[in-house]
Structure 1
């Protein structure tokens, strides 16, 4: 029987390096999809407002920087620290940078969907509520990121910041679920036209909203659940998967 190799201090690469490697591969695939979407958007929607184009560009370049951080973190964890796992008591600087970068992406996307919810529903309460929850998640993540730069021990950092990390994950998941459900509900209530073509368009928009929004919402919920269940791996999950 094969037994995973451990160091004297109980280091297990399967629990520390493994999730980061898997997350890095997934991040590469998703960034490739984002690059294709970025190109298609600017090729086909040339008449969109400048602010919308700026938001799309910001998401792309922030995610580019995030992807560079992930590659740097993988290199450090698998090459630079090879044979000396004690160095992983403190994560690389690239890992600390990846957290706020992914948080800014989530904040921009959630702000956009809150705006779309306001335009669809023509009501202000739910959009403001969604944006407030997103702001709470953003502030908690930025505080967490600033403290991560000064950590001296990963385990101690996890224990001290558990409430803040949990708040960040739960707030992101709540905002995604609430926004997706509210947009789909608002579109459903607009199915009052007697024109079949209009009904078809609205139904398609509802389908796309659920398809895209629900997938990111479920991912946010899964990440939050995994964090609570696998507390010892919180920094790996936080660094790699904390984005839409």
Structure 2
């Protein structure tokens, strides 16, 4: 049996560096989570439970990442046999990250559907999201059954499918949301406050949507070049954090005025901009289709609401609809 240590840079070094980057992102994620649960207490309990589930699973993934590095570098330091295998923390990381990706992609796809009601695209997105989850679970289970690095070729197909479908879903969701935001901007030319708000939403969508796709593409390229190392694993250590951050930022960006406010669909709230009929970005996802407007009596979408800073000299609420929408007179 060989007494030569394997290349530690690829086996333990890459995951170690990955945990450093992951730690920085997790601190940002924790900050965003505390902000959300502190400032949006009136959000529907289903949404808050959904966010809590994604955050909890991602925390499990973070713990698995630390455990993987600790077992390699401390508990089994110098153990040549152990260094030729993937420990239990690797499949746990893969499966938990796949679950986080599923939750966040479903959340963003749901937002897109609430804007557009485009059933065809949503069905295609659903197939990609489910394929990503299935391939992630398959990859994790294969690693459990065949932990040796020499058997990495057994996860080549499932791992490739996992990363490709993940990238496709991320880019399609981000592209769809960007398209809706740009359409909304075209409706409000010359309205500086609204355009500033939409510009911020465009920026956040690009940053969060492209971030996860870039990570997956890098991991895929490295994996296809050399599948006998932990470098792809180290790259993917940051993926779950970026996913949860994208969801939390999309929720927390509702606050623009610097004050702690809870976004609610009530007609008497000051400082809100409601854009209906799928022409803008949705943040208050209450998981129910509509609720009655307390002043006019007409049903309105409960989750097409974004908070903005509007001077008190202006009306407390501005209803914005497409130019060709039929106006219903107030009773």
TM-score between the two structures when normalised by the length of structure 2: 0.67
Unaligned runs of 5+ in 1: 1-6
Structure 2 counterpart of 1:173: 167
CA contact (8 A) 1:133 1:175 kept: yes
Structure 1 counterpart of 2:83: 88
Quick check: which one's strand share is greater? 2
Matched, 1:113 2:105: no
Structure 2 counterpart of 1:4: none
Structure 1 residues 62, 79: CA separation in 2 closer, same or farther (over 3 Å shift)? Answer: same
2: distance between equivalents of 1:235 and 1:221?
13
Offset, 1:241: 4.7
Aligned ranges 1:33-72 → 2 under 5 Å: 33-72=28-67
Offset, 1:229: 2.5
- Which has more radius of gyration? 2
2: distance between equivalents of 1:124 and 1:174?
18
1: distance between equivalents of 2:225 and 2:82?
25
2: distance between equivalents of 1:86 and 1:151?
14
Q: Provide the secondary structure at the position in 1 that maps to 2:43.
A: coil
Matched, 1:123 2:110: no
Structure 2 counterpart of 1:3: none
CA contact (8 A) 1:114 1:128 kept: no
TM-score between the two structures when normalised by the length of structure 1: 0.89
Matched, 1:240 2:234: no
2: distance between equivalents of 1:235 and 1:150?
21
Structure 1 residues 19, 198: CA separation in 2 closer, same or farther (over 3 Å shift)? Answer: same
CA contact (8 A) 1:180 1:210 kept: yes
CA contact (8 A) 1:24 1:240 kept: yes
Cα deviation, 1:164-222, whole Å, max 9, x if unaligned, reads: 11000111111111111111011111221353332332222112211222222222222
Cα deviation, 1:31-56, whole Å, max 9, x if unaligned, reads: 11111111000111112111211121
CA contact (8 A) 2:57 2:100 kept: yes
2: distance between equivalents of 1:240 and 1:187?
31
CA contact (8 A) 2:3 2:80 kept: no
CA contact (8 A) 1:103 1:242 kept: no
2: distance between equivalents of 1:152 and 1:65?
20
Q: Provide the secondary structure at the position in 2 that maps to 1:11.
A: coil
Quick check: which one's helix share is greater? 1
Structure 2 counterpart of 1:231: 227
Unaligned runs of 5+ in 2: 244-331
Cα deviation, 1:138-182, whole Å, max 9, x if unaligned, reads: 1011122122222152221x1122111100011111111111111
Structure 1 counterpart of 2:27: 32
CA contact (8 A) 1:120 1:187 kept: no
Higher deviation after alignment, 131-140 or 147-156: 147-156
CA contact (8 A) 1:173 1:224 kept: no
Aligned ranges 1:93-242 → 2 under 5 Å: 93-156=88-151, 158-191=152-185, 192-194=187-189, 195-233=191-229, 237=233, 240-241=237-238
Moved over 6 A (4+): none
